[in-house]
Amino acid sequence: MDKGTSINPSEAVTSPPPKLSTWQKFFYGTGCVFELTKWLIVLIVLGTLVHFYIGTISIVDGQSMEPNFHSGEYLIVNRWTYLFGTPSRGDPVVLRFPGDPEHVKYIKRIIGLPGEKVSIQSGSVYINDQKLPESYLAPGTQTYPNMTKQLGSEDYFLMGDNRLNSSDSRIWGVCPKRDLIGKPWYALWPLEVFGKVNHTAAN
């Protein structure tokens, strides 16, 4: 090439990229698939850990907790509280129905704690013969039928806030601690109830 001769870039000859063999294409492709699969597995594992140890979503089904919870509400349930802490009286709680713990979930309220005597007399609830104030109930709510139940060391007595329309410990008996899933923490839907759950809400 003579000195001073310039080359137009558009005329420059470039080498075509090397062709990949079938095996090379396969390994490059499977590398991407491997990365995607790896992250998918990580997300599944994290989601499973969150579901079983931190929180899960539950849908209210039925009228047993009105006026505080309504059918169709989506709730985030705090599992952590009961895995590493002790349930408290007055807590609303999502539980596995003792009669069918694998398939049926309920939402009720904790009334009686392990070792206590729960009595219902003349429309009111008594714990160890002391009348229980229940500010979370609608005014004028009466509780029936009359009954007395002595709780064991792992037993909880649960009732719905809508006492006249609730299937609870008055009917199917006590709930063992292992069947308590967690405490509702946040309402997601519908939008008018969106926000942190007020555990003692009442009229």
The DSSP output letter for 15 is P
Q: Helix, strand, coil shares of the chain as percentages rounded to 5?
A: 25, 30, 45
3-state secondary structure of 123: strand
- Look at the chain and count its residues: 203
- The catalytic position among 58, 105, 108, 183 is 108
| Angstrom distance (rounded) from CA 152 to CA 79 | 23
Alpha-helical regions (H) of 10-129:
22-53, 80-83
Beta carbons within 8 Å of 23's beta carbon, 6+ residues apart: none
CB distance 139 to 203 below 8 Å: yes
Q: Is 64 a catalytic residue?
A: yes
CB distance 176 to 98 below 8 Å: yes
- The catalytic position among 6, 15, 38, 64 is 64
Matching residue, tokens 């509280």: 81
Q: Is 149 a catalytic residue?
A: no
**Exposed (0-12), middle (13-18) or buried (19+): which is 202, by Cβ within 10 Å?**
middle
Which residues form the catalytic set?
Answer: 64, 108
